[in-house]
Amino acid sequence: MPDQSIGVWSYGLYLPQRVMTAQEISEATKGVWSEDAVKNKLGILQKRIPGEDDGTQEMAVRAAKDALTRGNVDPLSIDLILCIGEEWKEYPLTTSALYVQGQIGADNAWGIDVQNRCCTTCSAIKIAKDMMTADEEINCVMIVGGYRNGDFVDYTDKDMSMMYNLGAGAGALILKKGMDRNLVLGTHIMGDGSLARDAGVEIGGICHPFTPENVEEGYHSLRLMDAAHMKARLNEVSVANWYRCIDESLRKSGGLTRADIGYLAILHFKRSQHEAMVAELGLTPEQTVYLEEYGHIGQIDQILSLALGLEQGKIQDGTVVTMIAAGIGYVWASSCIRWGQAK
């Protein structure tokens, strides 16, 4: 029987050059949030924002090409592209996975767009591994996507401070069957549909279509549409669900526990939450990277954190990398990878 071990062959990134500083975020809130509060409470020193040519699909292509170059990967070896890019993109109703396929010359691949908000990378890792295990014709999968949902943020909306960190960028992972390194282990995902419409872009869909009067408002209508319910429900279940995902992903990784976590690839959120989670898991600041220089690039955060952890020497051979995410919807996820040569 062929070797079913599935590992990370390569990864790629694209980060826009433009940044929005803590001072500029403070100014955008009309002074409701001071620069000091943006830095120390929200945990944003600066964040990446898109330039003129940084479309969601185009950024994904750049991250894909970076992954191909880093791993010396022939694009013709890719069997499937799972695009994790957001719905906000250059042209609605176009398939981003196939745009990437055409632009990188992955002529043997087919593609699917996957959507699970900020948990899409973890979701795609699970989908890719499961498909590769089940289908002998799928031996190499590219996970790739871009993100620029920060375009929709209204900085004068006080309820939206949790999303002032939304930035822009793209990331890619290439998974391959028969690997003897960087092995993909367990993933666990939980969802709560009672929160499905508590947050989202309110204007521009079927329920509240664009009109001549609301176009400008619509382009900044990422909102908490039921803030009271969302807050109450998250206070009730969010922390427990997140830790359950972490513990279950570890259990599915050959019976690992929190003591085995070597590096936490965690999304960006406010500083106190980050510090509390690191402490609760028994980790130190040296076992993670706080993305205060980048902001929250949605589902790209985990790939960015992986890259930074490797760059800074925080991930070594044998390190168990635990990627954790949460997203509106509401969804929580955790995926584990054992970096380096398999034992």
Provide the CATH number for the domain around residue 152. 3.40.47.10
Q: Are residues 73 and 122 in the same domain?
A: yes
* Count of domains observed in the chain: 2
Q: Look up residue 279 and give its two tokens.
A: 């402490």
- Residue type present at position 60: A
Q: Answer yes or no: do 18 and 44 share one domain.
A: yes
User: Do 275 and 248 belong to one domain?
Assistant: yes
Q: Does residue 246 form part of some domain?
A: yes
DSSP, collapsed to helix, strand or coil, labels residue 53 as coil
- Which of 119, 152, 180 is a domain's end point? 180
State the burial class of residue 158 (Cβ atoms within 10 Å of its Cβ: 0-12, 13-18, 19+).
Answer: exposed
Residue 1 is predicted with a pLDDT of 36
Are 230 and 335 found together in one domain? Answer: yes
Residues 6+ apart with CB under 8 A from 175: 6, 7, 8, 9, 125, 128, 129, 132, 140, 141, 142, 143, 184
Query: Would 275 be classed as within a structural domain?
Result: yes
Q: What are 188's strand-pairing partners? A: 334
| Cα distances (Å, whole numbers) of residue 332 to 160, 239, 273 | 20, 10, 15
Taking only Cα atoms into account, the Rg of the chain, rounded to an integer number of angstroms, comes to 19
163 and 125 within one domain: yes
Q: What does the pLDDT read at residue 343?
A: 74
Does residue 295 form part of some domain?
yes
The verdict on residue 96 lying in a domain is yes
Sign of CA dihedral 65, 68, 74, 76: negative
Show which of 136, 162, 180 is a domain's final residue: 180
Tell me whether residue 1 is in a domain. Answer: no
Strands (DSSP E) along 203-257, which ranges?
222-224
In a domain, 280, yes or no: yes
Residues 121 and 152 in one domain: yes
Q: What angle do CA 220, 224, 229 make, to 5 degrees?
A: 170
Residues with Cβ within 8 Å of 291's Cβ and at least 6 positions away in sequence, in order, are 267, 268, 297, 301, 304, 305, 308
Mean pLDDT by 10 residues, the chain (343 residues): 79 98 98 97 98 98 98 98 97 97 98 97 98 97 98 95 97 97 98 97 96 95 96 96 98 98 97 97 98 98 98 98 97 98 84
Domain end point (choices 146, 180, 214): 180
Q: Is 176 helix (H, G, I), strand (E, B) or coil?
A: strand
**What is the extent of the structural domain holding 330?**
185-341
Indicate the burial class of 52 (C-beta count within 10 angstroms; 0-12, 13-18, 19 or more).
Answer: exposed
Q: Are residues 48 and 117 in the same domain?
A: yes
